[in-house]
Structure 1
């Protein structure tokens, strides 16, 4: 298995893309550190991995809280792979965006990956190897009414991807991002419903929404040595939504 002997921390991995990434990385031999706020769902992901012969542990954390983030970083210690997947979206038209939700989205989507990366990157740099994968969104590149704050945070994460690559890659730590298009997650279905999600999928060149597993495959590729010559890149896994 290509990632045997490596340890990966995947934030927001109790459901959706994060959970599928955790399961896929475990299949590739990684010891997976599952992180999220919901202990019940996190335990379910860990159990599913164990039942399939993989190795995983759950770490409860609310990354929008800096003390919780610090405790998580201390508990997991050195890792070989970091996937910054956890995110919050609180849609609102710009004119009615309230400060509390604005700050909540920034805290979860920018501040959390920034300081978690700052805490964990030094160990990767010391060993001269590592891979950081940031999960962005097509909304970082496509204007959509009501998502101004979320879209801005994802654009910031893509910018951080390039800056971190410039900072870390000369020492052997690669940093890349994946920008998923519409994906069949609880968040998307909860926001749009089945019919609305399907309509969004039809607007892509492939005419459908992605499964979480399809996005997880791209994350695995970016985390593994198969992408050894790739750093500072954002891969658009969006069925061509941003290509035309």
Structure 2
């Protein structure tokens, strides 16, 4: 099972509204919790649960502190659920992508801003969606059978150095 819930709204420091906070936490945290709870009775033995985190948990951008906090909560959920994994027959991990060249990002961000984002990544480029999918597929596969409660950053080194 992959829980890929995510919405991020930017707000300058001190200007976050209750509605914005509710929207971000409702989608990113509650969405992940309720997806997992609905899937739990359907999981087969030795199932893999993959949650989508974010590099923002370790490098929150200005104005994205609320988003970062919501994704930190998702990371914490994976750690907590890993403690119950044996009793329920699953393992759970997090993939935390960095900037990814999705159609949505390419529509929202100017070419100049994309270049700035690429320059911030040690590899000098943003991920392609297929690269994030490959890491998620690994976590979902038997090849990662001894990973539980882990977080893999697919970020070109952005949150690592």
TM-score category by the smaller chain? over 0.9
Q: Under a length normalisation based on structure 1, what TM-score does the superposition of the two structures give?
A: 0.63
- How many residues are paired up? 161
Q: Pick from 88, 91, 105: which aligns with 1:188?
A: 105
- Partner of residue 114, structure 1: 33
Find the aligned partners of 2:16 and 2:104 in 1 and give their Cα distance.
20
Give the 3-state SS of the residue equivalent to 1:179 in structure 2. Answer: strand
Does the aligned pair in 2 maintain the 1:138–1:179 contact within 8 Å?
A: yes
Does the aligned pair in 2 maintain the 1:198–1:209 contact within 8 Å?
A: no
- Partner of residue 70, structure 2: 153
The structure with the larger Rg is 1
- Partner of residue 104, structure 1: 23
Check 1:140–1:90 CA distance in 2 against 1; reply closer, same or farther (3 A cut): same
Offset, 1:170: 4.6
Offset, 1:84: 0.9
Structure 1: 4+ residue segments shifted above 3 A = none
- Give the unaligned 5+ runs of structure 2: none
Offset, 1:155: 0.5
Does the aligned pair in 2 maintain the 1:202–1:209 contact within 8 Å?
A: no
Q: Pick from 42, 49, 57: which aligns with 1:132?
A: 49
Q: Under a length normalisation based on structure 2, what TM-score does the superposition of the two structures give?
A: 0.93
RMSD over equivalenced CA pairs, Å? 1.4
Find the aligned partners of 2:42 and 2:85 in 1 and give their Cα distance.
11
Does the aligned pair in 2 maintain the 1:134–1:157 contact within 8 Å?
A: yes
Alignment of 1:123 onto 2:42: yes
Find the aligned partners of 1:108 and 1:213 in 2 and give their Cα distance.
24
Larger RCO, structure (CA 8 Å, separation 6 or more): 2
Alignment of 1:93 onto 2:12: yes
- Partner of residue 58, structure 2: 141
Give the 3-state SS of the residue equivalent to 1:157 in structure 2. Answer: helix
- Partner of residue 226, structure 1: 143
